[in-house]
Amino acid sequence: MRTLENRGALVTGAGRGIGAAVARKLAQEGARVFVTDVDADALDEVADAIGAGRLAGDLTDPQFADRLVGEADGFCGGLDIIVNNAGFIWPQAIHRMSDDQFDTLVDIHAGAPFRILRAASPLFREAARRDLAEGRARHRKVVNISSIIALSGSAMSANYAAGKAAVIGLTKAMAKEWGRYNVNVNCVAFGMIDTRLTDPAGADNPVLEIGGKAVNIGKMGANADAIREMIPMGRSGTVEEAAGGVYLFCSPDSDYVTGQVVVVGGGLG
């Protein structure tokens, strides 16, 4: 039997990269998956491939989280897993970084997960009450995504580091608040994972439509190669390996693990 049979899972930022790999992994393990991304075309490709529900949209829109959680809950027949993966980089030296550039990164990495968890709170609390009335214990899982940059810092990344550090604080607070409801809240901090943002090839940077404006989110470029040379395992990770780290916190094997941050980075840190 697959370990996530009869589980409903919401994955954000699932149009490509790590988010897409997480959605595929959870579906392979039997979960009924609902996905979201700002890129509707990429999202449709992933959702069609795994039979997932989907809703494209901008997680920085304050109204989006409530709609997203409601549609995910309806499609899945109840939410058991939330993976707050959506995010991007927007590098700049601090003396050139605007308030908007800082605020946008903190919002997508910490504000959006906060709004999603707030929207899911009534569902989780009511589900826990039903479980108690029925005399059963059912664990629900939240996995927030951070970065080793939140733990060690990186030049040109004040906004990204702040957002990723904030989601660690959110994780630890919610683990204490929701423990009584059998909700495990943990965090995966990624090191160097091979995605379009760590690809040094090509001159064109990805552009996202965020908050009604085009955001040139940048790539790590040549810095990616320098970082790879520091990884003790001698290479960067694949998106499938990244998804494996997230799956650990979604599986029944982590039912007594909460409030933790695990680095998935091949020893980098």
Distance CA 157, CA 150 (A): 10
Residues 6+ apart with CB under 8 A from 62: 115
Q: Tell me if residue 160 is catalytic.
A: yes
Distance CA 10, CA 29 (A): 14
* Long-range pairs for 201-210: beta carbons < 8 A, 24 or more residues apart: 206/88, 208/38, 208/39, 208/88, 209/38, 209/58, 210/38, 210/58, 210/60, 210/104, 210/108
- Kindly name the residue from 160, 181, 247, 256 that is annotated as catalytic: 160
Distance CA 209, CA 60 (A): 11
Residue that has been written with the tokens 């997230």 in this structure: 246
Q: Burial of 259 by CB count in 10 Å (0-12 exposed, 13-18 middle, 19+ buried)?
A: middle
In degrees, rounded to 5, the angle at the alpha carbon of residue 10 between the alpha carbons of residues 7 and 16 is 125
Q: Which residues are catalytic?
A: 160
